Structure 1
Amino acid sequence: MSRLKETAAVYETRPLPEGKITFEEFLAWCDEDTWAEWVDGEVVVLTPAARKHQRIYKFLLFLLEVFVSKHSLGEVLSAPFLVRLPESLRRGREPDILYVSNEKLHLLKETYMDGSPDLIVEITSPESLARDRGEKYVEYEAAGVKEYWLIDPDRRQAEFYRLAEEGRYRTIHPDEKGIYCSEAIPGFWLQVSWLWQDPLPSAIDCLKELGLI
């Protein structure tokens, strides 16, 4: 059974296209409220996120947006916003969070990015874990995404991958204090344990630690 048929039962509010469609047809079909991806001509609908996924997502998005804006480094975007990977991959993915440096802002269109962002963050769910760690890892690596963060709220596990000179991802571990320093976003660091606190720490307090306020 194709992915199109597998997802049809869970997407009742907007009829799915029949058969394979082009990326341009996919753009015409979806709207700003549609959470779906384009995979080799087929529509893959994304399932709703759990509360802990949403909390971590909003927390990270806020920190990244403020940091990038403060330092005029580029733009931070979030789902639903498509990333059209290189033509050879035939993929239109919808990352949870993406960062685009000033050098790549010209790749941003009205409803999608036509190329690879500098950083992609995926916050996994039980439904998406295999896809995020498998298919998307391979695709983002092949597309030249400089950094890929894979955040797993259920396992309280964060994986950070960085593109090496040979074009392959290498796992970058936080330091002995549990701090991960981004290379794609110069100067940005993250205390990984923040992500697992319940409730999450005050984003304002975290911004103070980052030296932003």
Structure 2
Amino acid sequence: MKAASSAVQDSPPPAERLRMTYEEFLSWADEDTHAEWVEGEVLVHMPPKDPHQRLVGFLNQLLGLFIAIFDLGRLWVAPFELRLRPDGPSRQPDLVFLRKEHLDRLTPDRIVGPPDLIIEVVSDDSVHRDRVDKFDEFEAAGVPEYWILDNRPGRHRAYFYQLAPNGQYRLIPPDEEGVYRSSVLDGFWLRVDWLWAEEPDVLKALAEVVGPDRIAQALRDRLER
């Protein structure tokens, strides 16, 4: 599938980038630096706005709790480095998920290799990067699932891509009830309307996805370990 370039619009001109080697980039950046390294250039991200952080926080909590209840793997929130291949770009997606069977791709410093799910929440300076550059990179690397969420004022668009057998991304629209079902988080689904809520209720959403009885049972199981 071609990159989601048809949706790219209202993107400001790219910021001036610093040039350095990857080794220099590692020395230059610290743990709190939110920047990416691509083919000798460094792109420093603009500070995120509240709607962006609110959505990232909601997903981090909802997915994190779901993953913990069913012991599916691990979830990271930016900034944490992802290198899809050892000689490739250094990326810092908003959210990254690795299934348990793929945790061997994790090192103390970064993930090396394709994760199972990447989520990017679009910012004013990331439109082309998220919908074209990263789309192509993640597809080529075989990342099974990629979400691009745009909750900027007046947008409210969600694009869910799953990797098809031919190695290309296929856009998976929500069903007639506005529900999207993940292919890599077994049993997980979400109502797209939750993404645009002013104050999303994590616990209510989790109870609807999992069911209160299963949540209670998971807690009992943990206490008995």
Answer yes or no: same fold by TM over 0.5: yes
Amino acid in the other structure paired with 2:58: F
Residue aligning to 1:106: 104
Offset, 1:135:
0.4
* Consecutive unaligned residues in structure 1, runs of 5 or more: 9-18
Q: 1:26-47 CA distances to partner (integer Å, 9 max, x unpaired)? A: 2233221010111012211111
What is the TM-score normalised by the length of structure 2? 0.83
Aligned structure 1 segments of 4 or more residues deviating by more than 3 angstroms: none
C-alpha distance in 2, partners of 1:72/1:27?
32
Q: 1:79-135 CA distances to partner (integer Å, 9 max, x unpaired)? A: 0001002246x2111000000001110111112101110000000011101110010
C-alpha distance in 2, partners of 1:118/1:93?
15
Residue aligning to 1:86: 85
Q: 1:99 is paired with a residue of what secondary structure?
A: strand
Q: 1:5-46 CA distances to partner (integer Å, 9 max, x unpaired)? A: 8146xxxxxxxxxx4302x44223322101011101221111
Q: 1:185-205 CA distances to partner (integer Å, 9 max, x unpaired)? A: 11110110011122x231111
Q: 2:90 is paired with a residue of what secondary structure?
A: strand
Amino acid in the other structure paired with 1:117: P
C-alpha distance in 1, partners of 2:26/2:151?
31
Q: 2:190 is paired with a residue of what secondary structure?
A: strand
Comparing 185-194 with 201-210, greater Cα deviation is found at: 201-210
Amino acid in the other structure paired with 1:31: D
Offset, 1:73:
0.5
Of the three residues 16, 28, 49, the one matched with 1:6 is 16
Amino acid in the other structure paired with 1:172: I
Q: Taking CA–CA contacts closer than 8 Å with sequence separation of 6 or more, which of the two structures ends up with the larger relative contact order?
A: 2
In the alignment, structure 1 residue 57 sits paired with structure 2 residue 63 = no
Q: 1:6 is paired with a residue of what secondary structure?
A: coil
* Consecutive unaligned residues in structure 2, runs of 5 or more: 1-13, 217-225
Matches within 5 A, 1:127-142: 127-142=125-140
Q: 1:60 is paired with a residue of what secondary structure?
A: helix
C-alpha distance in 1, partners of 2:99/2:86?
21
Residue aligning to 2:160: 160
Matches within 5 A, 1:142-157: 142-154=140-152, 155-157=155-157
In the alignment, structure 1 residue 190 sits paired with structure 2 residue 200 = no
Q: Taking every aligned residue pair, what percent have the same amino acid on both sides?
A: 46
Q: Does the 8 Å CA contact 2:179/2:189 hold for their aligned counterparts?
A: yes
Amino acid in the other structure paired with 2:180: Y
CA RMSD, Structure 1 to Structure 2 (Å): 1.5
Q: 1:161 is paired with a residue of what secondary structure?
A: strand
What is the TM-score normalised by the length of structure 1? 0.88
C-alpha distance in 2, partners of 1:110/1:91?
18
